[in-house]
Amino acid sequence: MSRIESTYKIPVMRDLLAKKLTRPVVGSLVGCVHCGMCNEACHYVLTHPDDPKMTPSFKVDQLRKLFKYNYDWTGKAFPWWVGAKEPLTDADLDVLKDIAFGTCTNCRRCTLNCPMGVDTAVLNRIMRGLLSSVGVMPEGVRVVSKDQWEIGNQMGVLKEDYLETLEWMSDELVGEVEDETARIPVDRKDCDVIYTINPREAKYDPRTIAAAAKIFWAAAESWTMPSEGWDQTNFGLFSGDDQLGGASARRVYEKMKELNAKRIVISECGHGYRSTRCEGPNWAGVDQDFEMESSVFTMLRYVKEGRIAVDPTRLGQRVTYHDSCNLARSCGITEEPRELLRTVATDFVEMIPNRAENFCCTGGGGAMSMSEYTPRRLKSARIKADQIAATGAKIVVTSCHNCVDGLNDLIKHYKLGCEVKQLVDLVADALVIEECAVKKKPKVVLEMPKPDMPLKGRRILVVDDEADIRVFLRTVLEDAGAEVYEAADGNAAIAEARRHKPDLITLDLSMEHKDGIETFAELRSDDELADIPVCVVTGHPEFREVIYSRAVPPPDGYKDKPVKEEELVEAVWRILGLHNHKVHV
């Protein structure tokens, strides 16, 4: 480790930090009260309990010291008291490098658990950016960033190799489905969809490209893949380099405009989605006047619109779902992947905890490119390994290529004996081609006009411990034509549901004896009652997360009290599928 004085590096970092001091950033810098409530949220802390350097607050205190030393009045007045300090030597910077890149995957789980709203991952990314700006970064980060700058994708895949891979996958697909129109279109203009991928797919896992192509073909989609600007990932998110972030995102947007596509579809990748869909327009300084979506949404839409048909019984193995930190925690995508997964799998078990509270796969934040930290990373992966093992699943499904690598690594290390797949693999394998749009005219779902008595002939069980609410709900639903039964608590609800087999249950959450959360779990785990749609009607929105994080299928609808008459009828009408009318056009 060198002890050379950092004569030019510190002023560069200091100036760059000044440009990053937005109101939310300063809020996170000054907001930490060192309460330690976030410690238990971090997989590094949980697996290194005796090492205080693993706590989220310690990691970003290093940035705080620099901030206070240069920009905060407390640091100028009482530097010794508030710990205001600047790194002095290259050796100091190496220590900061180890902390910023090697002890945090920027997963943001601590952020979610901080009462002060401190965004540790944002601060850690800033520290990474400061270090990167003066060339202090792990070798892997340097190589990957260079490839993305110079070659246009972060794995250095040459254009001819990429095009050859598409050709190879086209040949295989055409052979499989015996249809020349299944060939992957490249640089076709005026399509509805331009499909962008993670370079990992072109380099190591091209079958996911073929799987996506099969789904687009089956759905009779008007689509293309670009010959340039196809890398939806962005190492700028990991290295903290906003300029790289902007340049990478701009390549994708410019190609999309050149080809005049209507929508960018982003293959299953957590950080790619976050970079391209959420952060990219800011980094690139472009107005987002075009559509972008994750391929999870695209596939789910095809299923719902009847453009593809899938057989959920083919899989025959237990699956669980791993939420990517970027998709679930940073972008709020939690329900759509599950909805899609349930169309292609019959035995789905949730990991606990899940959704926004899920633990990182430990491959996030660019960790897979930093081999010097692999032992520490794999040690921290024990949390995720235990989560997976508890499900008994043979297949771990995830909508993120980074997570695929992180999970594969830990599954091998902890000898879990399961495999990792993505939704695109499962959907492609489950396709019932004869029922898909490519083989017949597509089914289109038309909205039915709502009749005067939209719930006529439907039987609904109203569960609420307040008599006046039950009267209100009964009146509204009966006026809409429904036959209504009532229950005042969870035990009565189960008994009434068994007796009347209603078409739908409205469920209050806060009730005496047996509350709605317990009742809901019991309904979902009862073979006889599990399929009855449930619409939660509650005056306690704080329970929403609780009921949606159960290890059972989520409620079919949710309404906050006080609920308006028209809104309740509309929700029930839609949950019962009375608004859809399938026709052939």
Applying CB under 6 A, the residues found at the interface with ligand SF4 are 32-38, 41-42, 44, 56-57, 59, 104-110, 114, 116, 118, 120-121
The nearest distance, CB 83 to ligand SF4, in angstroms, is 14
CB of 15 to ligand SF4, least distance (A): 26
What burial letters (b/e) apply to 125-163, b meaning 16+ CB within 10 Å? bbbbbbbbbbebbbebbeebbebbbeebbbbbbeeeebb
CB of 385 to ligand SF4, least distance (A): 16
Cα-flanking dihedrals φ and ψ of residue 365, to 5°?
A: 65, 20
CB of 540 to ligand SF4, least distance (A): 25
| Cα angle for residues 234, 240, 245 (degrees, 5° grid) | 35
Q: CB 508 → ligand SF4: shortest distance, Å?
A: 33
Contacts of 257 (CB under 8 A, 6+ apart): 290
Give me the least distance between CB of 121 and ligand SF4, in Å please: 4
SS3 535: strand
Cβ closest to ligand SF4, residue 103 vs residue 343? 103
Considering beta carbons, is residue 56 or 306 the nearer one to ligand SF4?
56
Q: Tell me whether residue 118 or residue 269 sits nearer to ligand SF4 (CB atom).
A: 118
Residue among 118 and 455 whose Cβ is closer to ligand SF4: 118
- Residue 525 C-beta: closest distance to ligand SF4, Å: 32
Using alpha carbons, list the distances in angstroms from residue 173 to 15, 201, 208, 298, 372. Answer: 53, 16, 12, 20, 39
Spatial contact of 26 and 118, defined as CB atoms under 8 Å apart: no
Q: How far is the CB of 115 from ligand SF4 (least distance, A)?
A: 6
Beta strands in 315-468 (DSSP E): 319-322, 348-350, 395-398, 419-421, 443-447, 459-463
Taking the least distance from each CB to ligand SF4, the nearer of 377 and 421 is 377
CA distance 243 to 431: 41
Minimum distance, C-beta of residue 118 to ligand SF4, in the bound complex (Å): 4
Nearest CA-CA partner of 323 in 402, 255, 231, 436? 402
Nearer to ligand SF4, 100 or 169 (CB): 100
- Mapped onto helix, strand or coil, the DSSP state of residue 578 is coil
Residues forming beta bridges with residue 447, ordered by sequence position: 580
108 or 128: CB nearest ligand SF4: 108
Give one word for 217, left, alpha or beta, with left for phi > 0 and alpha for psi -120 to 50: alpha
CB of 44 to ligand SF4, least distance (A): 5
Tokens of 492: 């009565």
Task: Give least dist CB 53 to ligand SF4, A.
Answer: 11
- Minimum CB–partner distance for residue 521 and ligand SF4 (Å): 28
Cβ count near 375 (within 10 Å): 9
Nearer to ligand SF4, 124 or 154 (CB): 124
Nearer to ligand SF4, 116 or 174 (CB): 116
Between 24 and 577, CB nearer to ligand SF4: 24
Question: Is 209 exposed, middle or buried, given 0-12, 13-18 or 19+ CB atoms closer than 10 A?
Answer: buried
Is residue 123 a contact partner of residue 351, using CB atoms and an 8 Å limit? no
CA-based angle 32:36:42, to the nearest 5?
A: 105
Give 56 or 236: the residue with its C-beta nearer to ligand SF4.
56
Q: How far apart are CA 473 and CA 481, in angstroms?
A: 12
Q: CB atoms < 10 A from the CB of 23, how many?
A: 6
Cβ at position 56, least distance to ligand SF4 in Å? 4
Shorter beta-carbon distance to ligand SF4: residue 118 or 403: 118
Amino acid at 537: V
Contacting residues for 310 by C-beta, under 8 A, at least 6 apart: 303, 343, 344, 427, 430, 431, 432
**Widest CA span of the chain, in angstroms?**
82
Nearer to ligand SF4, 117 or 332 (CB): 117
Alpha-carbon distance of 332 to 325, in angstroms, equals: 9
Instruction: Say whether the peptide bond before residue 562 is cis (omega within 30 degrees of 0).
Output: yes
Shortest distance (Å) from residue 112 CB to ligand SF4: 9
Q: Please say which residue, 127 or 477, places its beta carbon nearer to ligand SF4.
A: 127
Q: Residue 277 has what DSSP assignment?
A: I
The torsion angles phi and psi of 419, rounded to 5 degrees, stand at -120, 165
